[in-house]
Amino acid sequence: MEHYVAPDRGHDADLDRQALDRADLDAPTRVLVWRRFRRHRLGVLCLIILALGYAILPFVEILSPYNPNDFDENNIYAPPQGLYLFHEGAYVGLHTYPTATVYDMETGLVKRVTDRSDPLPVPVLTTCGEPYHLFGFIEGRFRVICPPEDGELFLIGSDRLGRDMFSRMVHGARLSMTVGLIGVVVSFTIGLILGGLAGYFGGWCDAAVSRAIEIFRSLPELPIWLALSAAVPVNWGPVSVFVMISIILGLLDWPGLARAVRSKFLALREEDYVRAAELMGAKPSRIIWRHMMPNFMSHLIASASLSIPAMILGETALSFLGLGLRPPAVSWGMMLNDALNLSAVEIYPWLLMPMVPVIFAVLAFSFVGDALRDALDPYS
């Protein structure tokens, strides 16, 4: 009995191409990039978290129960207080418990004792505390969460001056998260201009920029950061110091980008569309920014997202060493400066809590940068 054997037609690439959805073939580049990016679940999640974080930065005064520099000498190194809904098995609403300072005769240490017999209601979405100025000119007292009327509220403890660490951490996010953006803008502006000029014109311009890149890349970053930060005048205001620290962080980060832009432009300037633009009389600035730069934009976006974590860590390191931002400004690095005393950290471990947002911010930017790099890869 004969068996039917299907003819071997082989692999037909045209049939496979026709089977593709027509929408995929006609989709613009940004749609294809977004489709590749959203496959990176962790990158999408981190992007949402960062977007929400930057969206609430202008409203940090509303989220904190205290102003960042409000201090209480009676609650120095107060431990973290919890929030509860039930008291002795019964629902009584959001509340906390009062704490008292006692002296331990056996160990010679000062301890905080919690009295769980007297719950203190914690008001939410109401007015309380000292007035603040939203955006610098809108005065208000509305807060998401407020301390009890007859007690204090230290969600993650207080520092050596009795200042609420949660309020300071929330306010510190504004400077610590913004300094990375400003530093990247500074470094990218210098890197794009110098790298673009060197790659497009070549000759003596390329030689001069290349030597400058080699000199700056040979300098150790941290000692130069420390030296430049120490040279900032002590009589400058917080805003001036913040801007100067951002510029200092960006000054030493541009050589890597400038070298990448230079190498890319050396190849792009030989392309036909660049030669055609030159023959039509286009100016070099138009050729660089309108014709050559868009072909390099994917690498720039990925590099920017991966450079921001380095800027955040740089500001944290400078402020941690006492050479960054200065009071009354608040940043995560300044809060970690209290952790220089190891004996205090051993007794009051909540002084290390500002490390948590630093770690999460650096990881979030790193994951977003990896996802963008994969999505913008033309060979993926």
Domain assignments of the chain as residue spans, ordered by start? 82-153, 167-375
Residue 68, pLDDT above cutoff 60: yes
For residue 91, the Cα-to-chain-centroid distance in whole angstroms is 39
Residue 328 backbone dihedrals phi, psi, to 5 degrees: -85, 10
Mean pLDDT of 171-197: 88
Cα separation, 380 vs 375, whole angstroms: 7
Report CA-CA distances (Å) from 202 to 187, 256, 262, 263, 342: 21, 18, 9, 11, 54
Q: Which of the four pLDDT bands, split at 50, 70 and 90, describes residue 22?
A: low
Q: Which of the four pLDDT bands, split at 50, 70 and 90, describes residue 380?
A: low
pLDDT confidence of residue 23 = 55
CATH 3.55.50.30 describes domain 167-375? no
Selection from 2-11, 187-196, 297-306 with the highest mean pLDDT: 187-196
Q: Rounded to two decimals, what is the model's pTM? A: 0.81
- Select from 145, 257, 144, 256 the least CA-distant residue to 192: 257
Mean pLDDT of 60-76: 88
pLDDT confidence of residue 47 = 93
Average pLDDT of the chain, as a whole number: 83
Q: For residue 25, with 0-12 CB atoms within 10 Å meaning exposed, 13-18 middle and 19 or more buried, which class applies?
A: exposed
Mean pLDDT of 227-256: 83
Q: Which of the four pLDDT bands, split at 50, 70 and 90, describes residue 297?
A: confident
In this prediction, what percent of the chain has a pLDDT beyond 90?
Answer: 16
- Summarised one tens digit per residue, pLDDT across range 342-358 is 777 888 889 999 999 99
pLDDT confidence of residue 90 = 86
Residue 213, pLDDT above cutoff 50: yes
Residue 107, pLDDT above cutoff 60: yes
- Summarised one tens digit per residue, pLDDT across range 122-134 is 999 998 888 888 8
Mean pLDDT of 364-380: 79
Mean pLDDT of 66-85: 88
Residue 112 backbone dihedrals phi, psi, to 5 degrees: -110, 125
